[in-house]
Amino acid sequence: MFTHQSKVALGAALMVLLFAIPAMFGHASAVTVDVSIPGFSFSPSTVTVNVGTTVRWTNNHSISHTTTSTTALWDSGILAQGEQFSHVFSSAGTFPYLCTLHLGMTGTVVVYVCGDANASGGDPAVDIDDIVFLINYVFGGGPAPVPLAAGDANCSGGDPAVDIDDIVYLINYVFGGGPAPCANCL
Ligand SMILES: [Cu+2]
């Protein structure tokens, strides 16, 4: 593994890439992701979203349901057919929920930060450890970010979505005062 000193040296050395490789810059926009209640289930039962995303549940079933966080983050109360409830996810993490009327109805919202390739969370979520993680992934055969899109710091998408441009982008952000990772890297 890398020592702190070697990570700093690595970051400093890779600064030269900033002048050799043009970074691509992503876009930021508010996003809403829909979850349907078509019956005695949530569909899809797991959604993976960026920080700042609004998740909107719609009860499309003929009887009432709720969407209720198991950690008291949100509670829709009873939703009759056709009613909706929205919640903005402003921090990274894995958030389970259920319907309080039918406890077998469960779902999960996974929230992550673009650029937080190692899923460390915390403050700052995006730091030199993510650069090292991506270098190890792109050049060293190391583990991929989970979800992979979390490593697509410049929101380039494409194939591969995570490549040297994302490493350069993060170096520029962490060491060069460059723009933060894009907001929607799905
Ligand atoms: Cu229910």
At a CB cut-off of 8 Å and minimum separation 6, what does 57 contact?
34, 35, 36, 37, 42, 67, 76, 79, 84, 85, 86
pLDDT band at 4 (very low <50, low <70, confident <90, very high): low
CATH number at residue 50: 2.60.40.420
Q: Are residues 125 and 107 in the same domain?
A: no
Domain boundary among 57, 78, 112: 112
Q: Are residues 137 and 96 in the same domain?
A: no
Domain membership of residue 127 (yes or no) is yes
* Owning domain of residue 62: 32-112
Q: Are residues 63 and 96 in the same domain?
A: yes
If you average pLDDT over residues 46-59, what whole number do you get?
Answer: 95
DSSP 24: P
CA 103 – ligand 1 centroid, Å: 7
Domain membership of residue 152 (yes or no) is yes
Domain boundary among 94, 112, 130: 112
The predicted model scores a pTM of: 0.74
DSSP character string of 133-181 = HHHHHHHH--PPPSSGGGG-TT---SSSSSSHHHHHHHHHHHHH--PPP
Residue 49 confidence (pLDDT) above 90: yes
CA 40 – ligand 1 centroid, Å: 6
Q: Are residues 137 and 161 in the same domain?
A: yes
Domain membership of residue 183 (yes or no) is no
Domain membership of residue 185 (yes or no) is no
Q: Are residues 142 and 170 in the same domain?
A: yes
Q: What's residue 23's pLDDT?
A: 35
Q: Are residues 138 and 93 in the same domain?
A: no
CA 66 – ligand 1 centroid, Å: 6
Q: Are residues 54 and 103 in the same domain?
A: yes
Q: What is the mean pLDDT of the chain?
A: 87
CA 35 – ligand 1 centroid, Å: 14
Domain membership of residue 74 (yes or no) is yes
Q: Are residues 137 and 172 in the same domain?
A: yes
pLDDT in tens, 12-41: 555 534 433 333 333 445 789 999 999 999
Q: In the structure encoding, which two tokens stand for residue 96, read together?
A: 């389970």
CA 100 – ligand 1 centroid, Å: 7
| CA atoms of 135 and 117, how far apart (whole Å) | 10
Domain boundary among 112, 132, 163: 112
Q: Are residues 105 and 43 in the same domain?
A: yes
Asked which of 4-8, 94-98, 153-157, 180-184 is least confident by mean pLDDT, the reply is 4-8
Q: Are residues 87 and 149 in the same domain?
A: no
**Amino acid (1-letter code) at residue 151:** G
| CA atoms of 52 and 185, how far apart (whole Å) | 12
Q: Provide the number of structural domains found in the chain.
A: 2
Q: Are residues 163 and 133 in the same domain?
A: yes
Domain membership of residue 182 (yes or no) is no
